[in-house]
Protein backbone atom coordinates (compact mmCIF):
# COMPACT_ATOMS: atom_id res chain seq x y z
CA UNK A 1 0.00 0.00 0.00
CA UNK A 2 1.40 3.44 -0.89
CA UNK A 3 2.49 5.43 2.22
CA UNK A 4 -0.10 8.16 1.68
CA UNK A 5 -2.96 5.60 1.55
CA UNK A 6 -1.66 3.78 4.59
CA UNK A 7 -1.60 7.08 6.48
CA UNK A 8 -5.17 7.92 5.42
CA UNK A 9 -6.38 4.51 6.52
CA UNK A 10 -5.33 5.36 10.08
CA UNK A 11 -7.75 8.28 10.17
CA UNK A 12 -11.26 8.06 11.51
CA UNK A 13 -14.18 9.68 9.75
CA UNK A 14 -16.71 12.44 10.29
CA UNK A 15 -20.46 12.16 9.89
CA UNK A 16 -22.38 15.43 9.48
CA UNK A 17 -25.72 14.33 10.91
CA UNK A 18 -29.10 16.02 10.90
CA UNK A 19 -30.70 15.79 14.34
CA UNK A 20 -34.05 16.95 12.99
CA UNK A 21 -36.09 19.57 14.85
CA UNK A 22 -35.39 18.16 18.32
CA UNK A 23 -37.38 15.10 19.33
CA UNK A 24 -35.56 11.80 19.04
CA UNK A 25 -38.52 10.14 17.30
CA UNK A 26 -37.99 12.46 14.32
CA UNK A 27 -34.42 11.25 13.77
CA UNK A 28 -33.87 9.14 10.68
CA UNK A 29 -32.84 5.55 11.37
CA UNK A 30 -29.45 6.28 9.80
CA UNK A 31 -28.97 9.30 12.09
CA UNK A 32 -29.86 7.27 15.20
CA UNK A 33 -27.39 4.55 14.20
CA UNK A 34 -24.68 7.13 13.58
CA UNK A 35 -25.14 8.59 17.07
CA UNK A 36 -25.13 5.11 18.62
CA UNK A 37 -21.79 4.40 16.91
CA UNK A 38 -20.07 7.69 17.73
CA UNK A 39 -16.72 7.88 19.50
CA UNK A 40 -17.00 11.68 19.69
CA UNK A 41 -20.17 13.78 19.49
CA UNK A 42 -20.08 17.49 18.69
CA UNK A 43 -23.59 18.83 19.15
CA UNK A 44 -25.48 22.10 18.96
CA UNK A 45 -26.84 23.76 22.09
CA UNK A 46 -30.48 22.99 21.27
CA UNK A 47 -29.94 19.22 20.95
CA UNK A 48 -32.32 17.53 23.40
CA UNK A 49 -31.23 15.07 26.08
CA UNK A 50 -33.09 12.10 24.59
CA UNK A 51 -31.03 12.43 21.41
CA UNK A 52 -27.75 12.74 23.31
CA UNK A 53 -28.70 9.65 25.37
CA UNK A 54 -28.46 7.54 22.20
CA UNK A 55 -24.67 7.95 22.22
CA UNK A 56 -22.68 5.21 24.00
CA UNK A 57 -21.38 5.88 27.51
CA UNK A 58 -17.78 5.92 26.27
CA UNK A 59 -18.53 8.68 23.74
CA UNK A 60 -16.81 12.03 24.16
CA UNK A 61 -19.52 14.73 24.17
CA UNK A 62 -18.67 18.33 23.26
CA UNK A 63 -21.25 21.12 23.03
CA UNK A 64 -20.42 23.58 20.28
CA UNK A 65 -23.11 26.17 21.02
CA UNK A 66 -24.63 27.42 17.74
CA UNK A 67 -27.73 29.09 19.17
CA UNK A 68 -28.92 32.35 17.67
CA UNK A 69 -27.93 35.36 19.72
CA UNK A 70 -25.80 33.33 22.14
CA UNK A 71 -22.07 32.81 22.45
CA UNK A 72 -20.89 29.74 20.60
CA UNK A 73 -17.74 28.01 19.48
CA UNK A 74 -16.20 29.62 16.40
CA UNK A 75 -16.64 27.69 13.16
CA UNK A 76 -12.86 27.54 12.66
CA UNK A 77 -12.52 25.96 16.09
CA UNK A 78 -15.18 23.35 15.30
CA UNK A 79 -13.44 22.50 12.04
CA UNK A 80 -10.07 22.01 13.75
CA UNK A 81 -11.63 19.98 16.54
CA UNK A 82 -13.30 17.57 14.10
CA UNK A 83 -10.02 17.22 12.24
CA UNK A 84 -8.02 16.54 15.39
CA UNK A 85 -10.47 13.90 16.65
CA UNK A 86 -10.67 12.16 13.27
CA UNK A 87 -6.88 12.07 13.04
CA UNK A 88 -6.93 10.11 16.29
CA UNK A 89 -8.89 7.41 14.46
CA UNK A 90 -12.26 8.27 16.02
CA UNK A 91 -15.70 8.17 14.43
CA UNK A 92 -16.84 11.76 14.88
CA UNK A 93 -20.51 12.75 14.67
CA UNK A 94 -21.16 16.45 14.11
CA UNK A 95 -24.80 16.69 15.16
CA UNK A 96 -26.75 19.60 13.70
CA UNK A 97 -30.33 20.68 14.24
CA UNK A 98 -32.71 20.05 11.35
CA UNK A 99 -31.08 19.07 8.07
CA UNK A 100 -27.34 19.79 7.85
CA UNK A 101 -27.69 20.97 4.25
CA UNK A 102 -30.21 23.70 5.19
CA UNK A 103 -28.28 26.58 6.77
CA UNK A 104 -26.07 24.06 8.54
CA UNK A 105 -22.68 25.04 7.05
CA UNK A 106 -22.29 21.52 5.80
CA UNK A 107 -20.52 22.71 2.66
CA UNK A 108 -17.86 24.56 4.64
CA UNK A 109 -17.19 21.66 6.99
CA UNK A 110 -17.14 19.05 4.24
CA UNK A 111 -14.71 21.09 2.15
CA UNK A 112 -12.38 21.66 5.12
CA UNK A 113 -12.28 17.99 6.11
CA UNK A 114 -11.93 16.74 2.53
CA UNK A 115 -8.99 19.10 2.03
CA UNK A 116 -7.27 17.34 4.94
CA UNK A 117 -8.02 13.84 3.70
CA UNK A 118 -10.79 13.00 6.19
CA UNK A 119 -13.68 10.85 4.91
CA UNK A 120 -17.03 12.61 5.34
CA UNK A 121 -20.61 11.32 5.22
CA UNK A 122 -23.71 13.54 5.27
CA UNK A 123 -26.83 12.18 6.96
CA UNK A 124 -29.98 14.20 6.19
CA UNK A 125 -32.55 15.22 8.77
CA UNK A 126 -36.07 16.64 9.02
CA UNK A 127 -35.94 20.40 8.54
CA UNK A 128 -37.99 22.80 10.66
CA UNK A 129 -40.47 23.81 7.94
CA UNK A 130 -41.38 20.18 7.24
CA UNK A 131 -41.71 19.44 10.96
CA UNK A 132 -43.93 22.47 11.53
CA UNK A 133 -46.23 21.64 8.63
CA UNK A 134 -46.60 18.00 9.67
CA UNK A 135 -47.14 18.81 13.33
CA UNK A 136 -49.79 21.45 12.74
CA UNK A 137 -51.56 19.71 9.89
CA UNK A 138 -50.97 21.82 6.80
CA UNK A 139 -49.12 21.15 3.52
CA UNK A 140 -46.21 23.17 2.24
CA UNK A 141 -47.39 22.81 -1.35
CA UNK A 142 -50.99 22.36 -2.46
CA UNK A 143 -52.55 21.93 -5.87
CA UNK A 144 -54.01 25.21 -7.13
CA UNK A 145 -52.73 27.13 -4.13
CA UNK A 146 -49.00 26.73 -3.60
CA UNK A 147 -46.89 25.56 -6.53
CA UNK A 148 -43.50 26.09 -4.94
CA UNK A 149 -41.72 26.17 -1.60
CA UNK A 150 -39.02 28.77 -0.94
CA UNK A 151 -36.78 28.17 2.07
CA UNK A 152 -34.73 31.21 2.96
CA UNK A 153 -33.00 32.97 5.81
CA UNK A 154 -34.11 36.48 6.66
CA UNK A 155 -30.70 37.69 7.73
CA UNK A 156 -27.09 37.72 6.58
CA UNK A 157 -24.02 36.82 8.64
CA UNK A 158 -23.88 40.15 10.51
CA UNK A 159 -27.52 39.86 11.61
CA UNK A 160 -28.89 42.48 9.22
CA UNK A 161 -31.92 41.91 7.02
CA UNK A 162 -31.28 40.61 3.52
CA UNK A 163 -31.55 43.34 0.92
CA UNK A 164 -32.35 41.26 -2.16
CA UNK A 165 -34.56 38.33 -3.14
CA UNK A 166 -37.87 39.42 -1.63
CA UNK A 167 -39.69 39.47 -4.97
CA UNK A 168 -39.40 35.66 -5.16
CA UNK A 169 -41.23 35.32 -1.85
CA UNK A 170 -43.94 37.80 -2.82
CA UNK A 171 -45.55 35.49 -5.39
CA UNK A 172 -49.03 34.46 -4.20
CA UNK A 173 -48.45 30.79 -5.09
CA UNK A 174 -45.20 30.51 -3.15
CA UNK A 175 -45.01 29.15 0.38
CA UNK A 176 -42.19 31.05 2.05
CA UNK A 177 -40.42 29.40 5.00
CA UNK A 178 -38.10 31.81 6.76
CA UNK A 179 -35.43 30.62 9.14
CA UNK A 180 -33.70 32.89 11.66
CA UNK A 181 -36.33 35.57 11.09
CA UNK A 182 -37.93 35.88 14.52
CA UNK A 183 -36.42 39.27 15.32
CA UNK A 184 -36.97 40.62 11.81
CA UNK A 185 -40.64 39.63 11.34
CA UNK A 186 -41.87 43.21 10.95
CA UNK A 187 -39.24 44.14 8.40
CA UNK A 188 -39.85 40.88 6.53
CA UNK A 189 -43.57 41.61 6.27
CA UNK A 190 -42.92 45.14 5.03
CA UNK A 191 -40.52 43.92 2.34
CA UNK A 192 -42.94 41.28 1.09
CA UNK A 193 -45.91 43.65 1.03
CA UNK A 194 -43.80 46.26 -0.76
CA UNK A 195 -43.19 43.67 -3.48
CA UNK A 196 -46.90 42.92 -3.84
CA UNK A 197 -47.70 40.14 -1.36
CA UNK A 198 -51.15 40.73 0.11
CA UNK A 199 -51.27 41.97 3.70
CA UNK A 200 -54.06 39.43 4.30
CA UNK A 201 -51.87 36.45 3.34
CA UNK A 202 -52.18 33.74 6.03
CA UNK A 203 -49.01 33.11 8.01
CA UNK A 204 -47.92 31.05 10.97
CA UNK A 205 -44.98 31.31 13.33
CA UNK A 206 -43.98 27.98 14.88
CA UNK A 207 -41.77 27.88 17.93
CA UNK A 208 -39.81 24.68 18.68
CA UNK A 209 -41.23 22.95 15.60
CA UNK A 210 -41.39 19.16 15.89
CA UNK A 211 -40.99 19.08 19.66
CA UNK A 212 -43.64 18.26 22.25
CA UNK A 213 -43.44 21.84 23.50
CA UNK A 214 -44.06 23.31 20.03
CA UNK A 215 -46.34 26.30 19.79
CA UNK A 216 -48.01 27.81 16.73
CA UNK A 217 -49.02 31.44 16.35
CA UNK A 218 -51.46 31.70 13.40
CA UNK A 219 -51.70 35.20 11.96
CA UNK A 220 -51.58 37.19 8.73
CA UNK A 221 -48.66 38.83 7.00
CA UNK A 222 -49.59 42.33 8.18
CA UNK A 223 -50.05 41.17 11.80
CA UNK A 224 -47.08 38.79 11.90
CA UNK A 225 -44.73 40.98 13.94
CA UNK A 226 -47.44 42.14 16.36
CA UNK A 227 -48.73 38.64 17.12
CA UNK A 228 -45.24 37.17 17.37
CA UNK A 229 -44.15 39.88 19.82
CA UNK A 230 -47.27 39.28 21.92
CA UNK A 231 -46.45 35.55 22.14
CA UNK A 232 -42.94 36.28 23.50
CA UNK A 233 -41.23 33.17 22.05
CA UNK A 234 -37.97 32.07 23.61
CA UNK A 235 -37.18 29.06 21.40
CA UNK A 236 -36.22 28.87 17.72
CA UNK A 237 -38.98 30.07 15.39
CA UNK A 238 -39.70 29.29 11.75
CA UNK A 239 -41.97 31.73 9.92
CA UNK A 240 -44.17 30.23 7.22
CA UNK A 241 -46.10 32.56 4.96
CA UNK A 242 -48.64 31.41 2.38
CA UNK A 243 -52.23 30.36 1.77
CA UNK A 244 -51.51 26.79 2.90
CA UNK A 245 -51.01 27.90 6.51
CA UNK A 246 -54.73 28.64 6.78
CA UNK A 247 -55.20 24.85 6.92
CA UNK A 248 -53.26 24.56 10.19
CA UNK A 249 -54.96 22.50 12.91
CA UNK A 250 -53.60 23.56 16.29
CA UNK A 251 -55.65 21.00 18.26
CA UNK A 252 -54.39 18.10 16.13
CA UNK A 253 -50.79 18.94 17.08
CA UNK A 254 -51.60 18.63 20.78
CA UNK A 255 -53.13 15.17 20.24
CA UNK A 256 -50.15 14.07 18.14
CA UNK A 257 -47.70 15.07 20.88
CA UNK A 258 -49.65 13.08 23.48
CA UNK A 259 -49.56 9.94 21.33
CA UNK A 260 -45.78 9.91 20.85
CA UNK A 261 -43.57 7.34 22.46
CA UNK A 262 -39.97 8.08 23.43
CA UNK A 263 -37.24 6.52 21.28
CA UNK A 264 -35.10 3.93 23.06
CA UNK A 265 -31.53 2.89 22.35
CA UNK A 266 -31.18 -0.39 20.51
CA UNK A 267 -29.16 -3.11 22.24
Q: Is the pLDDT of residue 96 over 80?
A: yes
End residue of a domain, out of 93, 123, 153: 123
Does residue 267 sit within a domain?
no
Structural domain that includes position 196 = 128-253
Same domain, 85 and 133: no
pTM metric for this prediction: 0.86
DSSP 196: T
Sheet containing strand 91-96, edge to edge, reads 60-65, 40-44, 91-96, 13-18, 120-123
| 3 state DSSP class of 63 | strand
Among 96, 99, 171, 180, which one carries the catalytic annotation? Answer: 180
How would residue 243 be classed by pLDDT, with cut points 50, 70 and 90? very high
Domain co-membership, 14 together with 67: yes
Q: Is 202:175 a contact under the CB 8 Å cutoff?
A: no
User: Where does a domain end: 123, 141, 175?
Assistant: 123
pLDDT of residue 165: 81
CATH number for position 203: 3.30.950.10
Our answer to whether residue 70 is catalytic in this structure is: no
Q: Is 158 one of the catalytic residues? A: no
8 A C-beta contact, residue 86 and residue 92: yes
Do 109 and 172 belong to one domain?
A: no
- Average pLDDT for residues 246-263, to the nearest whole number? 67
Judge whether 238 and 224 are in contact, CB under 8 Å: no
**265 pLDDT above the threshold of 70:** no
Catalytic residue among 39, 44, 99, 171: 44
Q: Is the dihedral of CA 172, 175, 179, 180 positive or negative?
A: positive
Residue pLDDT, tens place only, 35-50: 999 999 999 988 999 9
Q: What is the pLDDT of residue 5?
A: 46
Determine the average pLDDT of the residues in 132-143. Answer: 96
Band the pLDDT of 267: cuts 50, 70, 90: very low
Is the pLDDT score of 117 beyond 60? yes
Catalytic annotation present for 44: yes
Select the highest-mean-pLDDT range: 151-160, 219-228, 250-259. 219-228
Residue 54, domain member (yes or no): yes
- Residues 66, 82, 96, 171: which is the catalytic one? 66
Amino acid sequence: MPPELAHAAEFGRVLLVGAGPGSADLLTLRAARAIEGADALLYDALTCAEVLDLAPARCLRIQTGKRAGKASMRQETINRLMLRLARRGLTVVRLKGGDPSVFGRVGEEQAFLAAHGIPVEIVPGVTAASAAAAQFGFPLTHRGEARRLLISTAIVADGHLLEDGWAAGADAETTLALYMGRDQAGAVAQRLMAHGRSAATPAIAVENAGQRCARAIPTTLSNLARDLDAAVPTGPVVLIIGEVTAQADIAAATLSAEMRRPLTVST
